[in-house]
Amino acid sequence: MTETSEFAAFTRRIVRAYARRVGDGDVEALPELLALAGEVDAAIAKSVDGLRNAGYSWAEIATRLGTTRQAAQQRFGRAAS
């Protein structure tokens, strides 16, 4: 899990650096930053789907997402896809 945590921390640093670059005046890169947000949303949905296929409950997933079981299921359930 340490490797996963380190990779996530590295990814957050990259995203923050990119946001600073855009905020410092690279307005042309703003659509790319928005596209990156869409990629992250899609990655979360794919991860949740994988966790469900691996047998994790909506309650277990929701706890990690900081939301309710119902909200997680509404957002990421197959009907929402």
Distance CA 6, CA 40 (A): 17
Q: Looking at the 3D structure of the chain, how many domains does it have?
A: 1
Domain that holds residue 37: 2-80
pLDDT of residue 78: 77
Kindly write down the DSSP assignment for every residue of 15-76, as one continuous string.
HHHHHHHHHTT-GGGHHHHHHHHHHHHHHHHHHHHHHHHTT--HHHHHHHHTS-HHHHHHHH
User: Considering the entire predicted model, what is its pTM?
Assistant: 0.82
Average pLDDT over the chain, rounded to an integer: 93
Q: pLDDT tens for residues 65-75?
A: 999 999 999 99
